[in-house]
Structure 1
């Protein structure tokens, strides 16, 4: 029998310890976010549909993005036991320099559209966290502005080779003069992908005030107050800003770029040259033959060719083929620190986060980016401790299995299906 007694006042006082309320609404909602998906939900509530969907969406049926995210869900970890993991080291070196965490902020375009602090918030947060920040050719802050926001950290520049070559060449020179140490030559955007959400939303740069956008703005007045009371939203590196995203990309990008353009940029750039948008083993081999310093396995976050290869699926084979000769990084679909750890275990030197950072930006500006990095960093540490490894260098294929869902169909005779 359980002996019952009257509650004692001292015990009740211990149970009734009330948490001090947080009156800062932004801080309160960010502290309540425990995952990147939580930040995404906050971002969706606080951002007009066209801007949110530009970030959240992908090309056509969005199969590439869905498959990339599913690939990380289809991971099985294999933890060791009885290892001392009271301290773990998340730092690494990549592309000739240090990073406190095994991920960087990826290049994103039109970033001030998501929040007026834009790249300034991203660069400053990256510098504070000791990780690299990557500025896009289609960014809304200048190379010099990013340098000012992150004066002591590592800054990288992502380059599109455009029809007007002198614009691209000028950006390369400015990035070098501003101390950017790595250049990402992006090769998966000869033309714009069909981003149907943007078309359906009538999304344009700058945003147009229509009946639909005004109606969507009514429950989000803070976004429009920020937008209308801060400097005009425009590209920092391009003079043309009018039209849909597809029209802008198609007018600027050059579908005729070749390996010769890679050699030209290589001759101009004094730092590390990394090619972003690699999607086959054969191209990875050829890039190594051309002497690049690194490659990023990426399908542009699913925003270009729908049904493109899943970078995470490609990773083990590419690392086996070229990992001894160049550094391999990966992006697309990364939404947690566990995803980052899985990539490192399969041989990636580094990872890049795009949407995860932008969800934080939309949820709370600079503080939201800090929170996104904090969430991912905490997940990286926890996953490493549970796997019982003490450094990113200890991670290996023995720690993770890619479970099979999409398996190539084989024709009679054993040949792989072309489909």
Structure 2
């Protein structure tokens, strides 16, 4: 999220003073070392896709209706067979427990407390089993990457099933990691390379640094993969993504998983149709938060085409660029059942732990409720394309 001019949040402000997702970002930036913040915040190459993900929502106006009884409202949705309190999902984010001690567990608890699903990344710090034990009341989803070691990949699926995860989310847009130049400039590695700049930055952010010392980073899902030591595991993971993965492999996963399955990374209508053909119940329209292929379109701009391609055969989740409650309304009006958020909850988590992650949801919930009143809709199902009109493309600041 780009900022221009002075931030509205004073330097003495805390979590209680945050009035928007943008404010949570400011608090997160102040707490984290630059290299760590940029790893969360940055995108691929020129970061065009990253900017467009947010700005894509500005391509639509909301047209309100008047004299509508909206005294009683509900933002609940049915998502993959379960009622959710809000049309939101926590996106899978790698290394969440590195950004904040016990980050995955705290984020999962926050999601559960606020009545929405949490998606655990394959590249989590806490393991599949630890998160399931730490957040037993949460609707847990497990995100799986395509890995060269198919037996290990299928083993992760079995572990998630046995641990009680309800939904499998297969990410297909990462056959190789995108070029994220902020990380190159910061010399960001896992573990952090002890350069002079990094050492000074860590010293300037003692609360975060002490947290890492008390809870060193690890890859919980890979610790029993026959490789020991964090650095060795990190090197093994770096070479584990599989560029040869194809629809036949995805079909095997569909056959293996007993429950709803989501394909994440869908950006083309033909891919959406194919995913539905093999039995996937939901699609996550996503360009990986602008972190993979730069100059890819904003997911929200592809939503109408994908909605036409799948009709009512699958639910759609828009991933990327959601920063306001009005963004959620626009996505619903264009055919989405829900939106998934990554950076917003990470900014909240790193600013204030579980309370900060809950704050991110609460801010969006309040904005969504106000927007529903002003739009003149009492239920999300009442939001239709008729509430939207194309707008001149602008840039969010």
Give yes or no for TM over 0.5.
yes
How far apart in 2 are the matches of 1:248 and 1:299?
25
The aligned residue for residue 19 of structure 1 is none
User: Is the aligned partner of 1:237 residue 2:221?
Assistant: yes
- Conserved 8 A contact 1:105-1:126: yes
The aligned residue for residue 38 of structure 1 is 23
- Conserved 8 A contact 2:127-2:221: yes
2:352 to 347, 352, 364: 364
How far apart in 1 are the matches of 2:346 and 2:217?
17
Q: TM-score, normalised by structure 1?
A: 0.87
Give the 5 Å matches for 1:227-266. Answer: 227-230=212-215, 232-239=216-223, 241-242=230-231, 250-266=238-254
- Give the CA deviation at 1:238: 2.4
2:290 to 302, 306, 312: 302
The aligned residue for residue 275 of structure 1 is 263
The aligned residue for residue 5 of structure 2 is none
Partner-residue secondary structure (3-state), 1:295? strand
1:225 to 210, 225, 232: 210
How far apart in 2 are the matches of 1:323 and 1:168?
31
Partner-residue secondary structure (3-state), 1:93? strand
- Give the CA deviation at 1:120: 1.1
Give the 5 Å matches for 1:6-405. Answer: 29-230=14-215, 232-239=216-223, 241-242=230-231, 250-405=238-393
How far apart in 1 are the matches of 2:222 and 2:288?
20
- Conserved 8 A contact 2:254-2:279: no
Deviates more, 1:365-374 or 1:320-329: 320-329
- Conserved 8 A contact 2:107-2:354: yes
Aligned length: 379
1:389-413 Cα offsets, whole Å, 9 max, x none, are 011111111112342549xxxxxxx
- Conserved 8 A contact 1:191-1:249: no
1:262-320 Cα offsets, whole Å, 9 max, x none, are 11111110010111100111111122222211111100000011011211001012112
How far apart in 2 are the matches of 1:314 and 1:257?
24
Partner-residue secondary structure (3-state), 1:242? helix
Partner-residue secondary structure (3-state), 2:231? coil
- Conserved 8 A contact 2:102-2:126: no
The aligned residue for residue 3 of structure 2 is none
- Conserved 8 A contact 2:96-2:124: yes
Gap change, CA 1:225 and 1:250, over 3 Å in 2: closer
Partner-residue secondary structure (3-state), 2:189? coil
Structure 1 unaligned spans of 5+: 1-25, 407-419
Partner-residue secondary structure (3-state), 2:158? helix
- Conserved 8 A contact 1:135-1:158: yes
Gap change, CA 1:244 and 1:179, over 3 Å in 2: closer
Of structures 1 and 2, the larger Rg is shown by 1
How far apart in 2 are the matches of 1:188 and 1:37?
27
How far apart in 1 are the matches of 2:179 and 2:203?
29
1:90-125 Cα offsets, whole Å, 9 max, x none, are 111111112100001110001122111311110000
1:136-159 Cα offsets, whole Å, 9 max, x none, are 001111111221222122100000
- Give the CA deviation at 1:170: 1.0
How far apart in 1 are the matches of 2:108 and 2:284?
20
- Give the CA deviation at 1:244: 12
Q: TM-score, normalised by structure 2?
A: 0.92
Partner-residue secondary structure (3-state), 2:14? helix
